[in-house]
Structures are given as C-alpha cells and as structure tokens.
Amino acid sequence: MTGARFDLPEVDAFTRPYWDAAAEGRLLLRRCGACGRAHHYPREFCPRCWSEDVTWEPASGRATLYTWSVVHRNDLPPFGSRTPYVAAVVDLAEGPRMMTEVVGCGAESLRVG
C-alpha cells in the first residue's frame, strides 16, 4: 500500500471522542461509575471491577513525574527526526499512570516527584 500511515491509530466509534479531544490538545480519561476509579488507556469497561458503567472525563493536566529518559536515537518514523526528546512516565492526578513526552522543559530541570 502506498501512502499507508503506520504512525496513526485507527479511529472507531468508541475511541472517536478520545482522538477528537487529543486533536484539540485535551486528554480524556475513563471513570467508572461503580468503583469511582479512573483508568487509561480507554476501555469500554472498568479494568478493576469490570463494570460497564464508565464515562469520559477530561484530565486535569496535573501529573507527578515517575521516571524519564532522554531518547537520542530512534529509527522508527516519525521519531528519528525528533531526537533528542524526553520520554516519560507520569502519575496523573486522577490516578492512572501513563507514558508521555516532556515538552517545554529541559531534561536537566526534571526531578522525580
């Protein structure tokens, strides 16, 4: 297939709200109405209590840095042209832990916690 994009996810009816929000620079999480806990990545059920009573909610944008690494080499498109970059794992204020990229802050300024 010519022109196939392997760096973009397939969007379906369930994930469309997530990807639409991401295109606007917003992160959506799923929150369970039964146990009250938030989770990420988006699923149609709660991974803790298995309830299907889950809804979308916007993340606050607050997180605590758990760990990070400066990536100097990555041969996979489109990352090779972006090196060096800071790949990180953060604990969101809402509870889930997720991977992200640190932008607007030099690696020398980062501290766990």
φ, ψ of residue 18 to 5 degrees: the values are: -60, -50
Q: Please report how many Cα atoms fall inside a 13 Å half-sphere around the Cα of residue 68, on the Cβ side.
A: 24
How many Å apart are CA 92 and CA 31, to the nearest integer? 13
pLDDT digits (tens, 9 = 90+) for 50-107: 999 999 999 999 999 999 999 999 998 778 888 999 999 999 999 999 999 999 998 9
**Six-digit token string for 113:** 């916690």
How many Å apart are CA 42 and CA 30, to the nearest integer? 6
Count the neighbouring beta carbons within 10 Å of the beta carbon of residue 18: 20
pLDDT digits (tens, 9 = 90+) for 5-40: 666 788 999 999 999 999 999 999 999 999 999 999
How many Å apart are CA 60 and CA 47, to the nearest integer? 21
